[in-house]
Chains A and B, each alone.
Chain A
Amino acid sequence: MTEIASSYPPASIANPHPPVSAGRVFVALLSRDLRVARRELPFFLIRTIMQPLLFVVVFGYLLPKMGFTQQGYQAALLPGILALSLMLSSAQSVTLPMVTEFGWTKEIEDRLLAPISIDLVAIEKIVNAMIQGIIAALVVLPLARLVMGPVAGFTFSHVPDLLLVVILSAAAASAFGLLLGVLISPQQIGFMFSLIITPMIFFGCAYYPWRGLDVVPWLKYAVLINPLVYISEGLRASLTPSMPHMPFLAIVTALIVLTAGFTWAALVRFRIRALG
């Protein structure tokens, strides 16, 4: 159809640069996102800490002190709060920027013009969100532990399990966040929080263990579509293993399947948005 300057390079200007490696471009994209995150650190910390901290104060400190919760609730709550922080921070780190940048400003354009495949631009967004989600969990854990005081059954004796769960959870949440970010328009953000995020939080087994839903069997199985369930249960399995939790293998399998599914769907949609 169309051809431009087919004999390349033109003799009259300097030889073009050698091809830059995808890895180098990927690192440059990541360093841009981390630069923006560093600049917004105070907002990031407030966004990350406020909700879990308030919840811990009320449900992990005040209610137990008043005698309204049973012994052991704190052990179920602490991993759930961490799961919530990890999930929300990962997802928010990618969803809102994607909605804005693909929205009317089209400011993602300069990254889409970078000499790297469009898929890797999307994967970089997931990696950046994973880093931010893991940092959020690392900030919230000591704070929550400090407010709650000693938590029965809390242990760091399952570090390899914990690392695996944290990385897989961050990946699943970040891929989910990217999928939301490329699916919804700026006008639908309110809708997203009301109809997707809020039900996910309340039915994500963050505030109660999944086994506790034995009392409502249909709900116990309905919540299995919610990725937060596996993050909460995974952190319970690795931080408070003596408490009831899903089988570890089932948790890991579910997180891998969800990460793969969300990533695939997000990449398909990202390509459509990018190559409109």
Chain B
Amino acid sequence: MSETVALEGLDLVVNEGEFFGLIGPNGAGKTTTIGMLTTRVIPTGGVAHVAGADVVRQSVTVRQRIGVVPQRPNPDRSLDAWENLIYHAAYFGVSRKEAARRAMVLMERLEIADKARMKVDQLSGGQQQRLMIARALIHEPTILFLDEPTVGLDPNARNSLWEILRDLHRQGRTIVMTTHYMPEADELSDRIALIDRGRLLALDTPENLKKQTSDGSLETFFIARSGRRSDT
């Protein structure tokens, strides 16, 4: 029986307070990497530490310190939007009063405050994605993981999310984001890792990566190194 290796020899360090972009074509191993770092996928080999804690042996400690925005919104559909935030905060020991205060601030910031009492099925895809961002932030994690956070968002919503991410970065939060939208990686990341078929192909600042191409484009770099377009 053949075994699929999702990641192989991926060796990298993300610094505290860094905005780290993980790019690669579909099937490159981006989501698997995020899954392992967020304790949701058990690696078959190797080690990974998040905020000093081992993702397998100290998974509870890791979960305490991270916030996760999934590729596809997965809100708790038995609760309304507001309750999604309040209960998620409660899972992290945040008092109800404090959770309510933070939920109000986050929902206003993400422009979904008027949807607070709606069932999540009544929210649009973009609104659900913003709810996922609010959920990932309500327990004030030190490290934020975002897996293709702007897929399906219109340009306005995307710009609005970029602003929020810049703010979070300015506060000193470490952010790890996967994307295959090159302008997003270029715009936000301090450093970018290009991976494909589970292997690290390149790791540097966007400026240095772009310097390696004739037209100074990250897209060109991506195609040259992975042999595929970024939207494949």
Contacts and interface: CB of A to CB of B under 8 A. Distances in A.
Contact of A109 (B70, B94, B140, B172): B70
Contacts of B141: 16
B172 A110 contact: no
Find the residue from A5, A111, A112 having the highest chain B CB count within 10 A: A5
A160 B51 CA distance: 51
B84 A110 contact: yes
Interface in B48-91: 48-53, 59-61, 63-66, 68, 70, 72, 74-79, 83-84, 87-88, 90-91
A9 interface: yes
B14 A3 contact: yes
A88 to B, nearest CB: 20
B51 A4 contact: yes
Contacts of A105: 74, 77
Is chain B's binding surface mostly helix, strand, loop or mixed?
loop
A1 interface: yes
Given A17-B93, A106-B74, A5 B87 contact: no
Nearest to B172: A12
B76 A4 contact: no
B198 to A, nearest CB: 11
Contacts of A17: 64, 92-94, 139-140
B41 A276 contact: yes
B51 A114 contact: no
Tier of interface size on chain B: 35 or more
Contacts of B93: 17, 20-21, 24-25, 28
A32 interface: yes
B91 A12 contact: no
Is chain A's binding surface mostly helix, strand, loop or mixed?
loop
Contact of A4 (B37, B75, B91, B171): B37
Contacts of A20: 64, 92-93
Given A4-B176, A13-B142, A117 B74 contact: no
B154 interface: no
Nearest to B46: A1
Interface of A: 1-14, 16-17, 19-22, 24-25, 28-29, 31-32, 35-36, 39, 97, 105-107, 109-117, 274-276
13 contacts: A2-B49, A4-B176, A6-B16, A8-B142, A13-B142, A13-B173, A19-B61, A20-B92, A21-B93, A35-B83, A36-B78, A107-B76, A117-B60
Given A35-B83, A113-B38, A275-B40, 17 more contacts: A1-B7, A1-B47, A3-B12, A3-B13, A3-B14, A5-B50, A5-B143, A12-B172, A25-B92, A31-B87, A36-B78, A109-B70, A110-B87, A110-B91, A115-B60, A115-B61, A117-B59
